[in-house]
Amino acid sequence: MNVTGIAGFLLAKLFAAHARRAPKDWYDIAVVLLHNEEGGPVAAGARVGALGGRPTGAAHSALLDLGGNFATPATQGPVAYAGQMVLNHPELEPGPLRADAVLAVEAFIEAVRAE
């Protein structure tokens, strides 16, 4: 049963990650941005941005926090994503996974702000 679209899921995860700082939240955000049916992080960001335009207040803070936690391949977001992916798929290398997560979050944030 589809109870929410990608925009609602990502907003919920964005606020959860901002509040909890749990590795699972960072992983969930990255995996959804990289592996979604919308067409990737830019399309997902456009869907989120279309909900209410440019983020303000708490949404703006949570988006800034997301960017900070995915700022480089060594920050906690990409590390959490790559760590879980390697557990699930031992044949994968963590370096490219971390880089993919950084690029996905950057593209997502730009798309959210563009709407």
Q: What is the DSSP letter of 89?
A: -
pLDDT at 111 exceeding the cut of 50: yes
Confidence at residue 1, expressed as pLDDT on a 0 to 100 scale: 39
- How far apart, in Å, are the Cα atoms of 18 and each of 2, 91, 112? 25, 31, 17
| Cα–Cα distance, 60 to 55 (Å, whole number) | 5
At residue 115, the pLDDT reads 61
User: Could you read off the pLDDT of 44-102 as tens digits, one per residue?
Assistant: 999 988 876 665 667 788 899 999 999 999 999 999 999 999 999 999 999 999 999 99
With beta carbons less than 8 A apart as the criterion, state whether 115 and 50 touch.
Answer: yes
pTM: 0.90
